[in-house]
Structure 1
Amino acid sequence: MAFENPSREEIKEILENAGNIAVVGLSDKTDRTSYMVAQAMQSNGYRIVPVNPVVQGQILGEQVYAALADVPEPIGIVNVFRRSEYTPEVAREAVAVGAKVLWLQQGIISEEAAKIAEEGGLKVIMDRCIKVEDSILLGKSRQ
């Protein structure tokens, strides 16, 4: 059976109950899409947790972790800015840390990652921008 994203109503509920959003592949370069999206989500009241093995220190005022397993607090959404071929491993890590949602950003599609995450009990969203969905479904209502 082909993958299908949750309904808009389900996505709205996911965003309303997001908890910490671990952003895998978050760049410290301000001109990168991952940075701009994470910054917008943070300004809308979400807690962003940067995950990037090559950046040390902080991004957007938050401690950067090398891997999901290093994050010392619960993760609600794993928001992924990595190429599709890397997402099955990210899905395995998301399952291992007990995340609730695997969210592959716009342009990122992996049936394998979706299957891994779903079998691990996670909701999966693919090929959608979390910032766009937040703007459409919630606007500024989180603040």
Structure 2
Amino acid sequence: MSGTTGDHGHYSDAFLRGVLDRVKSIAIVGASADPVKASYFVTKYLRDAGYRVIPINPKMAGQSILGLPVHGSLADLPEPPDMVDIFRNSTAAGGVTDEAIAAGAKVVWMQLGVVNDEAAARAEAAGLTVVMNRCPKMEIQRLYGEIGRIGVNSGVLVTKKQPLKKSFKKLI
């Protein structure tokens, strides 16, 4: 079920809001522990927004990201996630989509720049909702009035002038 019956380039705000409102758990395939990677701050943002986030990364299985246990694959999950957020390229998204179908997910969400029409058709035929080429973090911010926020409010970067810390003064 796409937002506009097969036109994956355009989703209504009502459709996206409906997806984001009904989802409670999100498996993030391609989650990273590197704080400069988009998958890291999307994971943090979604967790902080109240979603139950499940990082998926085969190289980090058994470790943790942001205090959350990392699983090696969707097949390793004890229960199906509501949504699978894919941080992989468009080609790899096909296999991840098949895993999402097998795992019993309800939604497949492909990140910005990730489009795989064949995988979307398979998911929709299996009864899943599909969103492609969108970021759930950015959509939440846009739809719910947080568009001014960039990244994650870590308290490290601020817009008002702050006194330099001693360690930085040495560099001047």
Q: Does 1:77 align with 2:93?
A: no
Pair member with larger Rg: 2
Residue 46 of structure 1: which of 34, 46, 51 is its match?
Answer: 51
* Inter-partner Cα distance in structure 2 for 1:101 and 1:107: 18
Structure number with higher relative contact order (C-alpha < 8 Å, ≥ 6 residues apart): 1
- Unaligned stretches of 5+ in structure 2? 147-172
What is residue 62 of structure 1 aligned with on the other side?
68
Shift of 1:47: 1.2
TM-score, normalised relative to structure 2? 0.77
Superposition misfits of 4+ residues, deviation over 4 angstroms: none
Given that residues 88 and 116 in structure 1 are in contact (C-alpha distance below 8 angstroms), is that contact kept between their aligned partners in structure 2? Answer: no
Identity of aligned residues (%): 40
- C-alpha RMSD of the superposition: 1.6
Shift of 1:7: 2.1
Shift of 1:139: 4.7
What is residue 107 of structure 2 aligned with on the other side?
101
Query: Residue deviations 1:80-101, cap 9 Å, x none?
Result: 0001110111111111111010
What is residue 126 of structure 2 aligned with on the other side?
120
What is residue 7 of structure 1 aligned with on the other side?
12
Residue 129 of structure 1: which of 125, 128, 135 is its match?
Answer: 135
User: Match of 1:54, as an amino acid?
Assistant: K
Secondary structure at the counterpart of residue 84 of structure 2: strand
TM-score, normalised relative to structure 1? 0.91
Shift of 1:73: 2.2
Residue 29 of structure 1: which of 20, 34, 37 is its match?
Answer: 34
Query: Residue deviations 1:103-126, cap 9 Å, x none?
Result: 000111111111111111110000
Instruction: Report how many aligned residue pairs link the two structures.
Output: 140
- Unaligned stretches of 5+ in structure 1? none
Shift of 1:71: 0.9
